[in-house]
Amino acid sequence: MSKTMYLSMILAGFVLLTAACGGEGDSPPQVVSSPPPGESSPPPVEPPPPPVANAITRENQLAGTTEWKLTAPATNREIEGYASATSVNHGDRIRLYVNTTASSYTIEVFRMGWYGGLGGRRVMGPVQVAGTQQIVPAPDPATGLVDCDWINPFTLVTGENWTSGVYLAKLTESANDKQSYIIFVVRNDEASSHYVFELPVTTYQAYNYWGGKSMYSYGSGTQLPWGSSRGTPPAFKVSFNRPYARSTNPPAAFGMGAGEFLTNYFPVVELRATISSAGWDYNMVRWLEKDGYDVRYVTNIDLHVSSTVLAHARTYLSSGHNEYWSWEMRENVTAFRGSGGNLIFFGANAMYWQVRLERSLATGTEHRVMVGWKERFRQDPLFTDGIASNDHLVTSRWRDSPVSRPEDAVIGVRYMLPFIDGDMVVSNASHWVFQNTGLQNGSLLPGLLGYEVDGIAGNQPPTTEILCTSSATELPNADNHVLDSTTSHMTLYTWPSGAQVFATGTVQWSWGLDDYNAPQLRSSRINPAAIQITKNVLSRF
């Protein structure tokens, strides 16, 4: 036997053995031998083909920039604005309403993504516009609603060639160069894609305290520094016809106007436990686009209006903190699951409160006012009207009567506890989800458990598999509050339609994928195992 043939046989045997060990983690290993002496070796295994080009890979090959970042946030509301809709189909128009005392301002529009790590690409501007000082309405005394009807909008005509994505309009006023954002999504209603990523703007709006009211007690009364106040009645109605306020944490001011896309609203100094003001959704977007996943973007308002936003897709993606859902949103997602569409929840506390969407009385525009009576649901007009046929629309928790549709029947897990910052613990390491991670039962995913966590509660589908089982205890605090504890779970189940549903059970999963906001607002949490888990799930869904 020649030396060349001998080496070729050894190589062929190694390749076959490697392939045999590359199946699902719970499959028994196969015994593969090399060819008998004298027989020719099989041809070498070809490397996998490169990722198929799609709109996202092509988009991220274009020149990026960091000029989308705010360098002088308008912390005293020197400039602020909102869009006429949370999303727009590519090629259509969207109006941007801006409030400033400056004589003029500029608008630049950026698409957010990876772009070689630069994070955004300028698609328009800068364009100079005459400034308008707008009227700020007082909160409605009965509901707390702050619903603007501003004038002199800048009409933005989106390009036919604008790729579906999350877009930020950067506003800079001329007097002192102060800056803020207006956020919106560009859809592509005609395209198909493997994944549809939903931006949870109803949750952004619920926490938005602009004008003195949010759906929480903070920011709903006398304005303390950074707009944070507690103990005052929340709003029962909030409007998308208003800007997103600045973060209640001064170091997170650079996200102002973008809702909770870049940062979050939580009043760090007033919560009974200190948590980070870093956001979650932009991290997920950056990572998805870095790896070239075939994804389109919508908001959950789009999902409320029509199920067609999920047409021509295989998988629905939810990330971070997707807490507020209308009946229509849930119906459209469950119908998608019933047709075989997969669901992925890279977050927690999803589908917790039911809300309704109404027409704005100020502008006459549908779906611009969100109604949520929450803990006071017994004051909801649909609860007090004595009409049983509409009780399912009462804005309580989904799990509570009279709605009685627990969220874990869809997600597999449900919200358990807030104010967490801990480690996830692997409990089913032989599952394919953990393939090629090197993790074993008891292995940790450090720092990815929090800030709110989900767990098994008894309403999960019967095929639910538990993948991680993690003890969670509230963070310590300064007011001697007795710390609560729970158990959080990562889960996977298969629906009779063949659809698969995966849930991480933690809001801050995307911190394991991308380091945006570290170390400014949090420590680095990037984790190769978390990245591999995410790739494993996406490859099967």
Q: What is the pLDDT of residues 111-151, one digit of tens each?
A: 999 999 999 999 999 999 999 999 999 999 999 999 999 99
Mean pLDDT of 247-270: 86
Superfamily of domain 60-255: Immunoglobulins (2.60.40.10)
pLDDT of residue 15: 33
Question: Which pLDDT band holds residue 14 (cuts at 50, 70, 90)?
Answer: very low
The CA-based dihedral angle spanning residues 82, 83, 87, 93, taken in that order and rounded to the nearest 10 degrees = -160
pLDDT of residue 51: 58
* 343 has a pLDDT exceeding 70: yes
CA distances from 63 to 60, 111, 118, 468 (A): 8, 11, 9, 40
Average pLDDT, the chain: 89
427: left (phi > 0), else alpha (psi -120 to 50), else beta? alpha
Collapse the DSSP code of 203 into the 3-class scheme (helix H, G, I; strand E, B; otherwise coil) and give the result. Answer: helix
* 11 has a pLDDT exceeding 50: no
pLDDT of residue 228: 43
Question: Edge to edge, what strands does the sheet with 369-371 contain?
Answer: 237-239, 369-371, 353-358, 324-326
Q: Are 91 and 160 in contact (CB under 8 A)?
A: yes
Lowest-confidence segment of 250-254, 324-328, 435-439, 452-456 by average pLDDT: 250-254
- pLDDT top residue among 39 and 52: 52
pLDDT of residue 476: 75
- pLDDT top residue among 35 and 218: 218
Give the position of tokens 């703007």: 201
Which percentage of the chain shows pLDDT scores above 70? 86
pLDDT of residue 8: 39
pLDDT of residue 483: 79
Peptide bond into 48 cis (omega under 30): no
Collapse the DSSP code of 323 into the 3-class scheme (helix H, G, I; strand E, B; otherwise coil) and give the result. Answer: coil
User: Quick one: 157 exposed, middle or buried, by C-beta within 10 A (0-12, 13-18, 19+)?
Assistant: exposed
pLDDT of residue 477: 66
pLDDT of residue 267: 62
Number of Cβ atoms within 10 Å of the Cβ of 402: 14
pLDDT of residue 269: 52
Q: What is the pLDDT of residues 456-512, one digit of tens each?
A: 999 999 999 999 999 999 887 655 567 789 999 999 999 999 999 999 999 999 999
pLDDT of residue 275: 76
Longest dimension (CA), the chain: 93
Residue in 70, 236, 94 with CA at minimum distance from that of residue 155? 94
pTM of the model: 0.89
pLDDT of residue 474: 86
pLDDT of residue 265: 85
d(CA 245, CA 236): 18
pLDDT of residue 35: 33
* 56 has a pLDDT exceeding 90: yes
The three state secondary structure string of 52-104 is CCCHHHHHCCCCCECCCCCCCECCCCCEEEEECCCEEECCCEEEEEEEECCCE
Residue in 313, 319, 310 with CA at minimum distance from that of residue 344? 319
pLDDT of residue 349: 98
Mean pLDDT of 397-423: 97
Q: What is the pLDDT of residues 76-105, one digit of tens each?
A: 999 999 999 999 999 999 999 999 999 999
Residue in 357, 278, 288, 293 with CA at minimum distance from that of residue 324? 357
d(CA 304, CA 332): 8
pLDDT of residue 281: 99
d(CA 506, CA 198): 17
* 46 has a pLDDT exceeding 80: no
b/e map 282-293, b = 16+ CB within 10 Å:
bbbbbbbbbbbb
- pLDDT top residue among 299 and 24: 299
**Domain definitions of the chain by residue range:** 60-255
In this structure, the chain runs to a length of 541
d(CA 137, CA 470): 46
* 438 has a pLDDT exceeding 70: yes
* 55 has a pLDDT exceeding 60: yes
User: Quick one: 249 exposed, middle or buried, by C-beta within 10 A (0-12, 13-18, 19+)?
Assistant: buried
pLDDT of residue 233: 85
